[in-house]
Amino acid sequence: MAEKTSLSLLAERLRNFPARPRTKIMEVCGTHTVAIRRAGIQHLLPAGAKLVSGPGCPVCVTPDHFIDEAVALARLGVIVTSFGDMLRVPGSRSSLEQERAAGSDIRAVYSPLDALQIAAATGRETVFLAVGFETTAPAIAAAGMMALEKKIANFSLLTALRLVPPALKALITPPQGDAAAEPTAVPQGDAADTEISGFLLPGHVSAVIGKQAYGFLEKHRLPGVISGFTAEDIITSLLHLLEMHNKGIYKIMNNYPRVVRDHGNERSRTVLAEAFAPVDAEWRGLGSIPASGLQLRPAFAVLDARRRFAIEVEAAPPRAGCRCGDVLRGRIDPPACPMFNKACRPDRPLGPCMVSSEGSCCAWVTYG
Amino acid sequence: MCLAVPMKIVEITGDMAVVESAGLRREVGIMLLANARINDWVLIHAGFAISKLSKKQARETLAIFAEGNFFG
Amino acid sequence: MDKVLLAHGGGGSKSAELTRKVFQRFLRDPLLMEMDDAARLPGQVFTTDSFVVKPLFFPGGDIGRLAVCGTVNDLAVMGAEPLYLSIAFIIEEGFPVAALEKILASISKACRQSGARIVCADTKVVERGKADGLFINTAGIGRPVFSKAVHPSRIRPGDAIMVNGPLGLHGISVLTARGEFGLRASVRSDVAPLWGLISKCRALDVPFMRDPTRGGLAQTLNELTHGKEFGARIREHDLPIPKKVAAVCDLLGFDPLHVANEGKVVMVVARSDAARALKALRRHPLGKAACLIGEITKENQGRVVMATRAGSERIVMPPVGEILPRIC
Decide which of 3.20.20.140, 3.90.1300.10, 1.10.287.130, 3.30.1330.10 is the CATH code for C37-144: 3.30.1330.10
Other C-beta atoms closer than 10 Å to the C-beta of A59 total 29
Confidence class for position C34, pLDDT limits 50, 70, 90? confident
Type of residue numbered A49:
A
Residue A176 has pLDDT above 60, yes or no: no
Does residue A43 lie within any of the structural domains? yes
Residues 244-303 of A with CB under 8 A from C: none
Return the axis-axis angle of helices A231-247 and A6-16, rounded to nearest 10°: 30
pTM value > 0.95: no
Residue C315 near chain A (CB below 8 Å): yes
pLDDT at A190: 36
The set of chains that have 3 or more CB pairs under 8 A with A is B, C
Q: Does C28 touch chain A (CB under 8 A)?
A: no
The string of pLDDT tens digits covering residues C48-74 is 999 998 899 999 999 999 999 999 999
Same domain, A244 and A290: no
Q: Which residues of chain B lie closer than 8 angstroms to C256, CB-CB?
A: 69
Q: How far is CA A342 from CA A87, A339, B22, in A?
A: 22, 5, 41
Q: Please report which helix (H) or strand (E) contains residue B8, including its range.
A: strand B5-13
Read off the pLDDT of each residue in B56-72 and give the average, rounded to a whole number.
54
| CA C31 – CA C10 distance, rounded (Å) | 24
**A101: closest CA of chain C, how far (Å):** 6
Mean pLDDT of all residues in C190-219: 96
pLDDT at A80: 98
Q: Do B29 and A260 touch (CB under 8 A)?
A: no
Contact A232 B72 (CB under 8 A): yes
Instruction: Choose the weakest-confidence range: A73-82, A311-320, C164-173, C253-262.
Output: A311-320
User: What is the reported pLDDT for C196?
Assistant: 97
- Reported confidence tier of residue A311, pLDDT bands at 50, 70, 90: confident
Amino acid at A208: V
Query: Which residue from C minimizes the CA distance to A10?
Result: C310
Of A177-181, C31-35, C258-262, the poorest mean pLDDT is in: A177-181
pLDDT tens digits, one per residue of C218-235: 999 999 999 999 999 999
pLDDT value, residue A189: 36
Same domain, A241 and A336: yes
Question: Does A97 contact C5 at a Cβ distance shorter than 8 Å?
Answer: yes
Which residue range forms the structural domain that includes residue B29?
5-65
| Nearest CA distance, C62 vs chain B (angstrom) | 21
Torsions phi, psi for C60 (to 5 deg): 95, -10
Which of C277, C258, C282 has the alpha carbon at shortest distance from C267?
A: C277
Q: Is the pLDDT of residue C113 over 80?
A: yes
Q: Is the pLDDT of residue A182 over 50?
A: no
CB contact under 8 A, C312 and A356: no
How many residues belong to chain A? 368
For residue B66, the model assigns a pLDDT of 52
Residue B43 in domain: yes
Does residue A96 sit in the same domain as residue A154? Answer: yes
List strands edge to edge, sheet with C117-126: C39-41, C44-51, C134-144, C80-92, C117-126
User: What are the chain C neighbours of A360 within 8 Å (beta carbons)?
Assistant: none
Range of weakest confidence among A180-189, A300-309, C192-201, C255-264: A180-189
* Poorest-pLDDT segment among A80-89, A192-201, A336-345: A192-201
pLDDT of A205 above 60: yes
Which pLDDT tens digit goes with each residue over C135-163? 999 999 999 999 999 999 999 999 999 99
Show Cβ contacts of residue A268 under 8 Å, excluding neighbours closer than 6 positions: A138, A208, B32, B50
Q: Which of residues 316-335 of A touch B (CB under 8 A)?
A: none
In a domain, A6, yes or no: no
Query: Other CB atoms closer than 10 Å to residue A81's CB: what's the count?
Result: 23
Q: Print the domain residue range for A52.
A: 18-59+167-172+192-250+331-367
Nearest Cα neighbor of C81 from C207, C195, C191 is: C195
Is there a single domain that holds both residue A118 and residue A140?
yes
pLDDT at B12 over 80: yes
A48 backbone φψ class: left, alpha, beta (φ>0; ψ -120 to 50) = left
Give the three-class secondary structure for C171. Answer: helix
The residue type of C36 is: D
User: Does the residue A320 lie in any domain?
Assistant: no
> What does the pLDDT average to over C249-265?
93
Q: What pLDDT is stored for residue B67 in this prediction?
A: 53
Q: A232-267 pLDDT, tens per residue?
A: 999 999 999 999 999 999 999 999 999 999 999 999
What span, in angstroms and rounded, lies between the C-alpha atoms of A352 and C266? 34
- Average pLDDT for A96-107: 93
* pLDDT reported for residue A83: 93
Report the greatest alpha carbon distance in chain B: 35
Q: Is residue A258 part of a domain?
A: no
Q: How confident is the model at residue A184 (pLDDT cuts 50, 70, 90)?
A: very low
- Of the listed ranges A59-63, A328-332, B57-61, C246-250, the least confidently predicted one is B57-61
CATH number at residue B21: 2.30.30.140
C-alpha span between C83 and C153 (Å, rounded): 26
Decide: A125 and A154 in contact? Cβ < 8 Å: yes
The answer to whether the CB atoms of B50 and A268 lie below 8 A apart is: yes
CATH number for the domain including A213? 3.40.50.11750
User: Is residue A35, in this structure, part of any structural domain at all?
Assistant: yes
Q: Is the CB of residue B10 less than 8 Å away from at least one CB of chain C?
A: no
Note whether A85 and A130 are same-domain residues: yes
Percent of chain A with pLDDT over 70: 93
Sign of the Cα pseudo-torsion (A34, A37, A40, A44, in order): positive
Q: Mean pLDDT throughout C179-192?
A: 90
Q: Rounded to whole angstroms, how far apart are CA atoms C76 and C286?
A: 14
User: How many Å apart are CA A318 and CA A304, to the nearest integer?
Assistant: 27
Q: Is residue B71 part of a domain?
A: no
Closest alpha carbon to A221 in A200, A245, A187: A245
The CA distance from C306 to the nearest CA of chain A, in Å, is 9
Q: Determine the Cα–Cα distance for residues A186 and A76; give it in Å rounded to an integer.
A: 43
Which residues in chain C have their CB less than 8 angstroms from residue A39's CB?
A: 308-310, 312, 314
Q: Which carries the bigger pLDDT value, residue C17 or residue A316?
A: C17
**pLDDT > 70 in chain C, percent:** 99
Cα gap C166→C48, rounded to integer Å:
26
| Residue at A12 is within a domain | no
- The answer on pLDDT for A175 being more than 80 is no
* Residue C177, pLDDT score: 92
What phi, psi does A278 have (nearest 5°)?
-65, 150
C279 has pLDDT over 90: yes
Band (pLDDT 50/70/90 cuts) for residue A194 is low
Residue C275: Cβ within 10 Å count: 12
Q: Is B14 on the interface with C (CB under 8 A)?
A: no
List b or e across A338-365, with b for residues whose CB sees 16 or more CB atoms inside 10 angstroms.
ebbeeebbbbbbbbbbbbbbbbbbbbbb
Fill in the DSSP letter of residue A195: P
Residue A340 lies in a domain: yes
pLDDT of A3 reads 53
**d(C-alpha C205, C-alpha C198), whole Å:** 12
What CATH number has the domain bearing residue A88?
Answer: 3.40.50.11740
Q: What are phi and psi of A56, to 5 degrees?
A: -100, 5
| CATH class of the structural domain C152-315 | alpha beta
Q: Do A159 and A73 lie in a common domain?
A: yes
Count of domains forming chain A? 2
- The reply to whether A89 and A203 lie within a common domain is no
DSSP code, position A176: T
DSSP 3-state of A347: coil
Using a CB-CB cut-off of 8 Å, the residues of chain B touching C247 are 5, 21-24
Q: In this predicted model, what pLDDT tens digit does every residue of A113-159 receive, in sequence order?
A: 999 999 999 999 999 999 999 999 999 999 999 999 999 999 999 99
Interfacial B residues in 26-65 facing C (CB < 8 Å)? 26-27, 44-47
C4 part of contact set with chain A, CB < 8 Å: yes
DSSP per-residue letters across A266-303: HHHHHHHHHHEEEEEEEETTTEEEEEEEEEE-GGGGGG
Residues A100 and A142 in one domain: yes
Residue A95 included in any domain? yes
CATH 3.90.650.10 positions along chain C are 152-315
* Contact (Cβ atoms closer than 8 angstroms) between residue A164 and residue A117: no
Note whether A244 and A358 are same-domain residues: yes
What's chain B's average pLDDT? Answer: 84
Strands C134-144 and C80-92: antiparallel
Strand C134-144 to strand C183-184: parallel, antiparallel, or no bridges (unpaired)? unpaired
Closest to C313 (Cβ–Cβ): which among A5, A40, A110? Answer: A40
Interface residue of A86, A135, A356 to substitute, partner B, most B CBs within 10 Å: A135
- The rounded distance, in Å, linking the Cα atoms of A324 and A318 is 12
| Residues whose CB is less than 8 angstroms from the CB of residue B22 and which lie 6 or more positions away in sequence, other chains included | C243, C244, C246, C247
Contact B43 A57 (CB under 8 A): no
Rounded to the nearest 10 degrees, the angle between the axes of helix C169-177 and helix C243-252 is 60
Burial zone of C320 (CB within 10 Å; 0-12 exposed, 13-18 middle, 19+ buried): buried
Report the Cα–Cα distance between both ends of chain B, in Å, rounded.
17
DSSP-assigned letter for residue C19: I
Tell me if C92 sits within 8 A of C134, measured CB to CB: yes
Could you list the beta-strand ranges (E) of chain C.
39-41, 44-51, 57-58, 61-62, 80-92, 117-126, 134-144, 160-163, 183-184, 208-210, 231-235, 266-269, 291-297, 304-307, 313-315
Judge whether B59 lies within some domain: yes
Phi, psi of A158, deg, nearest 5:
-105, 110
Q: How far is CA A362 from the centre of its chain?
A: 14
Radius of gyration from C-alpha coordinates of chain A: 21
Considering the domain boundaries, does residue B28 fall inside one?
yes
Kindly list the partner chains of chain C, i.e. chains with 3 or more CB atom pairs below 8 Å: A, B
Compute the nearest-CA separation of A7 from chain B (Å). Answer: 9
Judging contacts by C-beta atoms under 8 Å, the chain A residues touching residue C248 are none
Residue window 56-85, chain C: list those with CB within 8 Å of chain B: none
pLDDT, mean over chain A: 89
Q: How many domains does chain B have?
A: 1
From residue C208, alpha-carbon distances to C160, C205, C265, C267 in Å are 10, 9, 10, 6
Q: pLDDT tens across C89-109, in order?
A: 999 999 999 999 999 999 999
